[in-house]
Amino acid sequence: MTGIAPGTEVRAMPEQKIKMSINATAVSDTIMESARTAMSRAERIRIGARLSTSIAGAGLLIVGMIYSRMQPGQPAVGALLSALASIVVGIPVMAMALKGFVSKKQEYYTEQLISLAILASMARGEYVTATLVPLFMAIGHFLEERSILGARLAIEKIKELNARKANLLEGETERRVKPEDLKSGDLIIVRPGEVLPVDGTVVEGWSSVDQAPVTGESVYEEVAPGSKVFAGTINLNGLLRVTVTGVGADTALGRVIDILKQAESSKAPVTRLIERYASFYLPFVISFAAVVLFLTMDTTRAITVLVVACPCAFVLASPAAMVAALAVASRIKVLIKNTGFLEKLSDIDTLVLDKTGTITLGRLKVSKLFPANGIDENELLARAACAGYGSRHPVSVSIFEEAAGLEIKLAKPEKVTEEPGKGTIVAVNGDELRLGRLSWIKEYAYDCKQCNEPGGTVTYLAMNGKYLGAVQLEDRPRPEAKQAIEQLRKLGVSRTLLVTGDKKSVAEKISDELGFDTCIAEALPEDKLTIIQNERAKGAKIMMLGDGVNDAPALAGADVGVALCAMVNDVAIGSSDIAIMTDNLLRVPQIIRLSHAVRSIINQNVLFGAGFSVAMLTLASMGLISPVLGAILHNGGAIFVVFNSARLLKTDIK
């Protein structure tokens, strides 16, 4: 490990961070295996039955349509297959509608309204309509189920960060135990490469610890006697003796799990658009048909009322637009797990962002060189890269890559020795190079008593007892970050907050450069959620953008949680509402533009559906249209809604 100055930050390279995240979380071989872990047996049966009937019904409908075309002389067979399709798909919906009728629960109004549409369509032989309407509803329900399961899966993935075993010291005896068997005050040993099983305080040893799972920093924290360490973090290269201070739910990681559960359960369920009106529309239609029958004694008029009252255009108003929007989102590699969040995006006025790996690249780059007198910058960089040769510490890697990029020739070291918590010692061409923390270099270099201390992420270099200079490194913002924030402001985001686990000096520099309204540094997961809860209490509509385990509670607690680079982090993708599968921040304003377009299309569809229903009911009650004509017209309304929604596919959201 390349030594660094006290208080120095050291960021991990992305490939290292990804590898450690995958190892730590023990990602399941398949998504389905993970989903099975998160679902109960009853849930698997219910979702399986719903999918099976939907697939079977769609299959029968397709077969029936094909048969009717191929055998026009046998229309009864095609009609029978289509009727079976509507029955297979409609039975589960009608069963739920009946359950709602008996229990009088409002949550079943949608099923009751859909059942009315199915029955009226089947009464007129409109089996295609009778099949497609419940199919659309099933798709919407399935998306909602996936959102709930995603939150549960995120909790399961966080649990997997916990160590499986701990090394308990009892006197001079070492014993392997389960972490939950430990108690406060116990003494444990943590070896290089092991995951810390508990929260604790270091009592002996020096090391670097990757605390990204808890703090969100791609920073290797230098720990020594007296330093606090957290469960779920990774001890990189030193032998540590740690006194236990927190176990299980009392650890920082345990609190992340608890907070995520609370946030998931407290988030208000998305109310489907149709449910807002179903409680009024259903009894109104039935009553209206009864009144028409009573006043006119004309059963044809009453049947026509039921036929034209089939709210197909109204039912499709939201789902059709959402399906089109999902297709648009998929083209830009955005996964929207619950379509209701597309509507919520239009109301967002406050943006909360994580820093490392979200607004920044998450890797170090040499920013400035501070050579000692008589040393030029190229010589300093060449010798620093030589000293870091062979080390995988992110500081060494960044310096080596900088030298390679400038095509600086390096001497190959003959011997490399790492001093945990201090730095590296390299023998090359008879010289001894040392690269590491300031206090260690001062002990070695006699002329380093008054050397430069530029601050930030800095490592120091000496050769043969003589100070050569310092190398400053920093994590840079993503190239598109400023442009993305400016676009978001134009889209209605009036306030931006940078909330990070990084040090204050580093966070404030990034905040000032990108023009954030507020910067909050050194924030743990529970702090991020508290900040979001406080903002929501003031009436803010918040979108949280993050990329790691530490962001999970905040992602779940925001009005809309968006995970960046979600394909490498199961916890982030599970706890978020929207997952951006790339690292391009410009996708954020794009999905907000998409949400505005979706809301506009849905409003148009709803107004058309409502107006169309009123017009058809009026014409039907006056006897101006027949049931057959009514069926044709109401299908035309549904077609209009579908085509109007399809306009989203050509929407420019760039």
Strand partners, 368: 472
d(CA 503, CA 570): 26
- Cα separation, 54 vs 543, in Å, equals 34
**DSSP letter string over 260-297?**
HHHHHHHSPPPPPTTHHHHHHHHHHHHHHHHHHHHHH-
Which two tokens mark 80?
């029978």
What's the DSSP call for residue 195?
B
Among 612, 619, 606, CA closest to 634: 612
CA 290 to chain CA centroid, Å, is 50
CA distance 228 to 209: 11
The β-bridge partners of 469 are: 371, 461
CA-wise closest residue to 499 among 563, 550, 455: 550
Active site residue: 354, 502, 570, 577, which one? Answer: 354
Strands 334-336 and 457-463: unpaired
Tokens found for residue 47: 């979702």
Buried (b) or exposed (e) across 402-420, using 16+ Cβ within 10 A? bbeeeeeebeebeebebbb
- DSSP-based three-state secondary structure for 128: helix
The answer to whether residue 475 is catalytic is: no
Length of the chain, in residues: 654
Distance CA 556, CA 93 (A): 31
Contact 12, 392 (CB under 8 A): no
Task: List residues with catalytic annotation.
Answer: 354
